[in-house]
Structure 1
Amino acid sequence: MKLVSIPANPAPSGAAVGAIETPDGVTLRYARFAPPPGRKGTVCLFQGRAEFIEKYFEVVHDLRSRGFAVATIDFRGQGLSQRAVRDSRKGHARRFSDYLIDLETFVKQVVLPDCPPPFFALGQGMGATVLIESAARGHRWFDRMVLASPMIGLAQRPLFGAGPTFARSLRLLGFGRLAVPGGSRHAAAAEPFADNPLTSDPIRYARTAAVIEAEPALTVGAPTVAWTDAAFRTMTAMQRPQYPARLRQPMLLIAGGHDTMISTAAIERFGFNLRAGSHLVIPGALHDLMMEQEQLRKLFWAAFDAFVPGTPLYG
């Protein structure tokens, strides 16, 4: 296993990169980065759909500058982890609980034996949703979670051209491994910058595109019907008021005020119903909060610092 390092996006120094195997036989790529001297604690970083470790090199630097070790994985079906279907450009999963297997395997084989406690989690998009699902099932791997743009509801548009009933019907008809109708094989981050829904920062957007150009194997295009159906079913469950009310995991949800992919209102409703968490909205930010313009990223990191013990704010 390797990390893809390019001049515009160099790999952080001192990385330990390897592979682990899940109980159901899937090979996952992981990376861990030691903390600076004299500090303790690890932030486990979980990416969004179709993302990969290299996209978050700057975030690794941000976390290590705060004194944390960092550990991260590519979820199954993306990055340089094992793909589930022959066409590697399809983002496929049978069900979202498969990602929980990835999470548990990563924690048990990498985090607990090799990383300094206490443990915190930072999730983006789909990765944030997986963390919420894990907490809902009673797992307390982490002291606190910071969840950026969690996939709880959609922002007034169908998911890759498919609605819940349509996706369920296609899956029941045996088309689960097909790409959603109208979906592209190209990664969203490799599309032209103009009108992209991810970030308003052209430099960070171009940086991700350059990594994809250097290593096309990292990319994933549109998801399959099965992934889309699983996503809709997960979001439907999360939008029930009793779902957040039963969570006991301390968590902070952060939404982008201009996110056109994930519903900011759904994140706010979820946050209002939390018993052990809170939420906030960053005005003007799009979906990829950690890849946004610097003034917006500063707001994100200020919220992180206020919530996670061990950051400079706490001394």
Structure 2
Amino acid sequence: MQSGQWPQEEWSVPGAPVSGYVWRAEQPRGEVLISHGVGEYATRYVERYHALIPTLVERGFSVYAYDQRGHGRSGGRRAVVDLNVLVDDHLKAREALRSRPGDDTPLPLFALGHSMGGLVTAASASRGPRGLAGVILSSPALLVGQKESALIKALAPLLALVAPAAPVSDLGTGGLSRLTAEVSAYEADELMYHGKVRALTAATMLGLSQKLWAHYPRWQLPTLILHGTADTITDPAGSQRFFDTIASPDKTLVLQEGGYHELLNDEPREEVREALLAWLLERS
């Protein structure tokens, strides 16, 4: 598959200072809004993640994505982000796709979020599901800070306030994939942020993840959750708990045995991608 076969266009999100992109399917049957994880950027999903974006376009889905603030080609302090602001940006992106002038026959829109982007997507959908046909969460960061002490959790907002850029947590690269080439590509990517998670990012991720559990019982959207059981970067127990909590009559949880954090860059990438595509095709 030639990833350059479908040209990448610029796409702007009104009210959000982010660099956005769109890849258009020739005869679209649906649209997918992708939200990337901490430290990465939107166009990484073209070459990596088992060529996810070109594959979606080939199957008839136009893809929209943007570099979240502080990431990729978007402005802001590098990887110093307030997750609540990122949720607002996601809602603005969804509204821009929902209310396009002259769009009399809107296509079904699916929101796909990976890792930190999974938490952003879940928070956005919880705030308001309007306009979404379904949600896909890939290794989502839904259960954050379970191993941290009560004191650390209590001090996190204070540290974020006085030293938002302080490096607080090293996620490492060993848990990304079992494929050496994928880990090497990650480490060599100069557009990635390779440092420790910053204090503001960590604290707001922790706070947002805790706050959302009270809202999930009202979740009714069709939902696909993908997580590796050997993920050491985000907790697969959060995906299981989310699946058990939401009220959606259409929900699917795929716990990939032995899978690492970036499932689409890991050994079962073909199987995982086909499961994702089959789910979308059945609902569009």
What range describes the TM-score normalised by the shorter chain of this pair? 0.7 to 0.9
Alignment partner of 1:273 is 2:245 = yes
Q: Which runs of 5+ in 1 are unaligned?
A: 1-8, 190-195
1:77 and 1:21 mapped to 2: Cα distance? 17
Change (3 A) 1:292 1:75: same
Change (3 A) 1:278 1:243: farther
Q: Which runs of 5+ in 2 are unaligned?
A: none
CA RMSD across the alignment: 2.9
Query: Structure 1 stretches (4+) deviating beyond 6 angstroms?
Result: none
Cα deviations across residues 118-141 of structure 1 (Å, max 9, x unaligned)?
211211011111111112112323
Structure 1 residue 28: deviation in Å?
0.5
2:269 and 2:63 mapped to 1: Cα distance? 19
Alignment partner of 1:249 is 2:221 = yes
TM-score normalised over the length of structure 1: 0.76
Partner of 1:228: 202
Partner of 1:59: 52
Partner of 2:91: 104
Out of 131-140 and 106-115, give the one that drifted further: 106-115
Partner of 2:263: 289
Structure 1 residue 310: deviation in Å?
5.4
1:287 and 1:163 mapped to 2: Cα distance? 25
Alignment partner of 1:198 is 2:170 = no
Change (3 A) 1:113 1:310: farther
2:68 and 2:81 mapped to 1: Cα distance? 10
Alignment partner of 1:119 is 2:109 = yes
2:172 and 2:130 mapped to 1: Cα distance? 33
Residues 258 and 284 in structure 1, CA contact (< 8 A), matched pair in contact too: yes
Percent of pairs identical after alignment? 21
Alignment partner of 1:128 is 2:118 = yes
Residues 136 and 223 in structure 2, CA contact (< 8 A), matched pair in contact too: yes
2:165 and 2:145 mapped to 1: Cα distance? 24
- Which letter does structure 2 place at the counterpart of 1:179? A
Structure 1 residue 18: deviation in Å?
4.4
Partner of 1:262: 234
2:279 and 2:238 mapped to 1: Cα distance? 21
Structure 1 residue 73: deviation in Å?
0.7
1:113 and 1:146 mapped to 2: Cα distance? 23
Residues 47 and 125 in structure 1, CA contact (< 8 A), matched pair in contact too: yes
Partner of 1:93: 81
Change (3 A) 1:118 1:71: same
Structure 1 residue 300: deviation in Å?
1.5
Cα deviations across residues 176-220 of structure 1 (Å, max 9, x unaligned)?
423134x57xx956xxxxxx111112223333344x23xx4x535
Structure 1 residue 66: deviation in Å?
1.8
